[in-house]
Structure 1
Amino acid sequence: MDSPHGAAVTAEDFGLKGPRGWAFRGVRLDASPGALIAIEGPSGSGRTCLLLALTGRMRPSEGRAEVGGLRLPRQMAALRRISALGPVPGVSELDPAFTVAEHLRERALLQRRYDGSLRALLRPRAERTAAARNRIETALDAAGLDPARLPKAERTSVRDLERLEALRLSVALALIGRPRLLAVDDTDLKLSDAERAEAWELLRSVADSGTTVLAACSQAPVGAIIVRTATTATSGTSGTSGTSGTAEADASDASAPAEAPEATTEKTTAEKTTDEGTADAFAETGRA
């Protein structure tokens, strides 16, 4: 099987509105295949809605976006087939009662059932089992998770995993389907500085392997393409919706390197959003 080829992601004046306000608005983005894209903003700023909209799980209200050559919102169903969700609270969460082995086995079975070709389904059982095991091992290796090192190996329950271990498991489950776009929410939530660095190293390695990564976070890492879902009007530093600039020109970005690589200088901002707008967007749009 060929290695996954990442999906290019572009957006122009992209927005999603609920009855009481905008979840996000004015988003502009231009990212190449295999990019690491960080959606930066505080909780309630619309970052999860933007992540779900760019993976075909929520319907946008205005503007345009294209992911892997698929236009939104017209080709949302097709986009869902080439994208995969890592951990997204309330949408794709791990079952705390399941063991690591049960999660992996379930995902492999679902992958074979819904995404496998007819020829693959007709292969001998032993061959199908070996193929599934190989896919699981490849995904675990890419996620940097070695079940043998867990307290009870593959029989370890999700509730007994550390936060970073759970993140790695969620990423592995998503990668079993060999997606072109991987989306991860709350990337840096409840992580120490050292663990946060490990999490971004993981996602950067996934991107380097060819899969485009879209990660929502409170603080973006150095070198990522940054999309900001809120500005801070109360602090006197408000941004203009849809404005972009280089890392060198954006003096307000404390995380930007002095000399950013050419592929990581694109930055975007969006209008300030409200908790009500984000909540309504979830309620009105629904999730897939």
Structure 2
Amino acid sequence: MEANPAEPHGAAVVADGFGLKGPRGWAFRDVGFRAEPGSLVAIEGPSGSGRTCLLLALTGRMKPHEGHAEVAGFRLPRKMAAVRRISALGPVPGVSDLDPAFTVAEHLRERALLQRRYDGSVRALLRPPAERAAATKARIEEALEAAGLDLDALPKAGRTSVRDLERLEALRLSVALALIGRPRLLALDDADLKLPDADRAEAWALLRSIADAGTTVLAVCSEAPEDALRISTTPRAAEAGPTAEDDTADTDDTAAADADAPADDTAAADADAHADDTDADTAEEDTNEEGTADALAETGRA
């Protein structure tokens, strides 16, 4: 279903008493904040504080255990499938990794084909092949421009292998792949990991430009920029940024689970376009493995 042109493209994100429990205790708990469409939201905190779990829960890929959240009006955990369809993952280690053996062009072509196959309308699929190819090329170019990735500047242009990319280039590629689907919510993990200061500043400038263009951005980081809405998964939350309201992201209990620890229940993979009408609360047979497979399905290599 296409978004109403009168509505903002970005997704508003609201959390209230949001929490997720894993085998070793609470990954995060009592998270509350409000982000308007087109916000840059930074989830900060030390490694092991539940940042990745919060990111995956807010994108409908892990099932929370207390409180609730809403993404573009879709309430979690009930509408997890709907949230997955309007959100996209940039780099999330172990979930949406780039394939080092692929070239940049191969990654882009694969993602565009998957996007057209699973998300394209019947009318679009019936268009002449040349028309479909032109539309795919335009979508790829649009995503590359938004991600600031110039293929001609790479050592072998589009034939450059992922293993030969610098970290900032790999980040831009991951973001471009996510933007091919024109999501309302873009989420990425470890946005500033292993980046020198200059590259870190470029990475945040990139994410800020995507948010300014209308897409809501959730980014896990070790240290958030001052102009972001700052959410913390540590016991004492940092003050929210200038776009926040009075909500803060306090956590009552120390997060006892590692950020990569699986939750007790996660969202099962859902290929049915109408699955958002089902109640995720009744999905007692959901498993951690199924939730991971659902996130990996975005790459087509689950």
TM-score band, normalised by shorter chain: 0.7 to 0.9
Cα distance, 1:272 vs structure 2: 2.1
Unaligned runs of 5+ in 1: 232-238, 248-259
- Is 1:191 equivalent to 2:195 in the alignment? yes
- Deviation string 1:230-276 (CA, Å, 9 cap, x unpaired) is 13xxxxxxx27xxx8566xxxxxxxxxxxx4xx25664232421235
Q: Report if the CA contact (8 A) 2:34-2:244 is conserved.
A: no
Taking structure 2 as the reference length, what is the TM-score of the superposition? 0.83
Looking at structure 2, the residues matched to 124 and 28 of structure 1 have their Cα atoms a distance apart, in angstroms, of: 48
Indicate how the Cα distance of structure 1 residues 157 and 29 shifts in structure 2: closer, same or farther if over 3 A, else same.
same
Indicate how the Cα distance of structure 1 residues 6 and 159 shifts in structure 2: closer, same or farther if over 3 A, else same.
same
Quick one: which of 244, 256, 265 aligns to 1:274?
256
Quick one: which of 51, 55, 59 aligns to 1:51?
55
Looking at structure 2, the residues matched to 56 and 66 of structure 1 have their Cα atoms a distance apart, in angstroms, of: 10
1:257 maps to none
- Is 1:121 equivalent to 2:102 in the alignment? no
- Deviation string 1:202-234 (CA, Å, 9 cap, x unpaired) is 000000000000000100111100110113xxx
Q: Report if the CA contact (8 A) 2:48-2:257 is conserved.
A: yes
Amino acid at match of 2:89: L
Cα distance, 1:148 vs structure 2: 0.5
Looking at structure 2, the residues matched to 145 and 277 of structure 1 have their Cα atoms a distance apart, in angstroms, of: 29
Indicate how the Cα distance of structure 1 residues 38 and 245 shifts in structure 2: closer, same or farther if over 3 A, else same.
closer
1:226 maps to 230
SS in 1 for 2:64: coil
2:152 maps to 148
Indicate how the Cα distance of structure 1 residues 228 and 276 shifts in structure 2: closer, same or farther if over 3 A, else same.
closer
SS in 2 for 1:279: coil
Large movers: runs of 4+ above 4 Å: 1-4, 244-247, 264-267
Q: What percent identity do the matched residue pairs reach?
A: 70
- Is 1:102 equivalent to 2:84 in the alignment? no
- Is 1:36 equivalent to 2:40 in the alignment? yes
SS in 2 for 1:52: helix
- Deviation string 1:78-130 (CA, Å, 9 cap, x unpaired) is 11000000000010010000000000000000000000000000000000000
Looking at structure 1, the residues matched to 103 and 195 of structure 2 have their Cα atoms a distance apart, in angstroms, of: 22
Unaligned runs of 5+ in 2: 266-286, 295-302
Cα distance, 1:44 vs structure 2: 1.0
1:69 maps to 73
RMSD: 2.0
Query: How many residues of Structure 1 are paired with residues of Structure 2 in the alignment?
Result: 264
Taking structure 1 as the reference length, what is the TM-score of the superposition? 0.87
